[in-house]
Amino acid sequence: MKGKITPLNKYRGQVTLVVNVASECGYTDGHYKALVQLQNELGGQGKFNVLAFPCNQFGGQEPQDNAAILRFAQTNYKVKFPIFAKINVINTNVPPVWKFLIEKSGHAPTWNFWKYLIDGNGQVINAWGPWVSVEQIKADVVKTYQENIEQEMFTWRRTLISCVYTYKTV
């Protein structure tokens, strides 16, 4: 959110939890705390990221500018995951990534803190509304994360075996 353009393909191969966030929502405290904890638990190896997209479309609960949103999240919750610039997630001016999430999941956000789980291949696994806590979806996130790691290991082994059969020893 520091004014840099970030191509989302930077997160290709990683499991991501994409969330529309708001600073003044009744769900803010519980969700931010749990999202930070999840990022801390799974994000250390560069194979998982929470991606937060502030949105002011639901109840006007994200009225601050981008700098204030970032300061709020970092000061109050020690957020280290990416927070992108404020966007619309429904109706007009919806970015392509959100159109994709809505189309593939079959669920458009109806409030703040909708969560979309995406596997390392870019497939939308599931979507949950704000009434479903991060703790309630954690098992699904961990399962997707572990499957992604296993798939990478399988690919690595297959590549290694291919290399072994390609080279002769002297």
**What residues act catalytically?**
25
Return the CATH number at 146.
3.40.30.10
- Residue that is written with structure tokens 């296993």 in the block: 150
Give pTM, 2 decimals.
0.88
Nearest CA to 87 out of 35, 48, 131, 51 is that of 51
Q: Identify whether 5 is part of a domain.
A: no
Share of the chain above pLDDT 90, in %: 78
Question: How do residues 70-104 score in pLDDT, each as one tens digit?
Answer: 999 999 999 999 999 999 999 999 999 999 999 99
- pLDDT of 17 reads 98
Average pLDDT over residues 37-56: 95
Give how many domains the chain has, as a whole number.
1
**In which domain, by residue range, is 63 found?**
13-166
Contacts of 134 by beta carbon, 8 Å cutoff, 6+ apart: 30, 31, 34, 35, 37, 38, 115
CB 27, CB 132: distance < 8 Å: no
